[in-house]
């Protein structure tokens, strides 16, 4: 008889507090971490114009979104930033690879040199579709 109660208790623990189908359906939809195409990256704070060799402020933020466009706090691969459009052969310094926290990768110490107009950045991570930033200028 006690096993019956245990089964009900376990089922209750899995579904209480898990709206929209419960925890098991959510983890199943994520595919255990997902593959390419199930997650995509989005610049939620775009790079702004800055001075060469100075940190770009505010901090660039890249959000990892699930297939429904929600930040995915379970995504753990590092997000890497690189220069995509490089009008003058510039280099980027700072921490260019960051593990997301609650689905957001914060890049708070990036700087680019030399000065140039039309730089763009690329955000990439294993298991996610890459994203390109808006164009910006380094003075």
Question: What domains can you pick out in the chain, each with its CATH number?
Answer: 1-30 (no CATH), 34-138 (2.60.40.3960)
What's the pLDDT tens digit per position in 47-60? 999 999 999 999 99
Q: Give CA separation, 121 vs 13, 124, 126, 130, in Å.
A: 44, 10, 17, 10
Of 34, 138, 17, the C-alpha closest to 89 is: 138
In this predicted structure, the answer to whether residue 35 has a pLDDT above a threshold of 70 is no
Q: Look at residue 95 and give its three-state secondary structure.
A: coil
Task: Confirm if 108 and 93 have CB atoms less than 8 A apart.
Answer: no
The predicted model scores a pTM of: 0.74
What's the pLDDT tens digit per position in 66-75? 999 999 999 9
Residue 111 to residue 132: CA distance in whole angstroms: 17
E-state strands within 5-134: 40-45, 60-65, 79-85, 91-93, 97-98, 104-107, 111-113, 116-124, 131-132
Element (H, E) at 9: helix 2-15
Residue with tokens 């997902």: 34
Q: What is the pLDDT of residue 43?
A: 98
Q: Look at residue 7 and give its three-state secondary structure.
A: helix
Q: What is the pLDDT of residue 49?
A: 98
Residue with tokens 């040199």: 113
What would the two tokens of residue 43 be?
């610049």
The tally of CA atoms less than 13 A away on the side-chain side of residue 122 is 10
Q: Work out the mean pLDDT of the chain and round it to a whole number.
A: 82
């Amino acid at each position: 008889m006690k096993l019956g109660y245990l089964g009900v208790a376990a089922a209750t623990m899995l579904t209480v507090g898990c709206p929209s189908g419960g925890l098991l359906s959510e983890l199943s939809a994520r595919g255990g971490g997902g593959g390419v195409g199930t997650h995509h990256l989005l610049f939620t704070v775009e790079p702004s114009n800055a001075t060469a060799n100075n940190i770009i402020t505010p901090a660039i933020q890249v959000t990892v979104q699930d297939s429904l466009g929600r930040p995915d706090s379970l995504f753990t691969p590092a997000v890497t930033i690189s220069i995509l459009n490089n009008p003058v052969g510039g280099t980027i310094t700072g921490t260019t690879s960051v593990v997301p926290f609650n689905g957001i990768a914060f890049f708070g110490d990036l700087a680019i040199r030399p000065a140039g107009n039309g730089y763009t950045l690329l955000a990439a991570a294993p298991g996610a579709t890459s994203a390109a930033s808006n164009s910006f200028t380094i003075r």
